[in-house]
Amino acid sequence: EDQVTQSPEALRLQEGESSSLNCSYTVSGLRGLFWYRQDPGKGPEFLFTLYSAGEEKEKERLKATLTKKESFLHITAPKPEDSATYLCAVQDANTGFQKLVFGTGTRLLVSP
């Protein structure tokens, strides 16, 4: 069974204090790993897709990386507007590539 575990559950940073969020996954074969951002009261917003180990994607202060067992979302010099819940999800190439399995998210709070 596909599993996605995100850590930490919650993270509090000061503005400018860089950190990383972790997404560990178990799938029979990875087709894609996805990162989303969710603001309170809103639907998730797509950030990145990663397909193979070693791949990296960047967008503003965010950089996502992928290994064979986990993905990291690195946040460099965060700002208060980066506060949100970050969700990780995997698409299994073998057992259910039509479906997405999500982790429970990391709630990030960036204080000024």
Partner 1 sequence: EAQVTQNPRYLITVTGKKLTVTCSQNMNHEYMSWYRQDPGLGLRQIYYSMNVEVTDKGDVPEGYKVSRKEKRNFPLILESPSPNQTSLYFCASSLYSMTGPDFSQFFGPGTRLTVL
82: three-class secondary structure by DSSP: helix
Nearest distance, CB of residue 18 and partner 1, angstroms: 26
Segment near partner 1 (CB under 8 A), from 17-25, 55-63, 69-77, 93-101? 93-101
What 8-state DSSP symbol labels residue 31?
Answer: E
**112 binds partner 1 per the rule CB under 8 A:** no
**78 binds partner 1 per the rule CB under 8 A:** no
Nearest distance, CB of residue 2 and partner 1, angstroms: 9
81: three-class secondary structure by DSSP: helix
Do residues 92 and 27 touch, judged by C-beta distance below 8 A?
Answer: yes
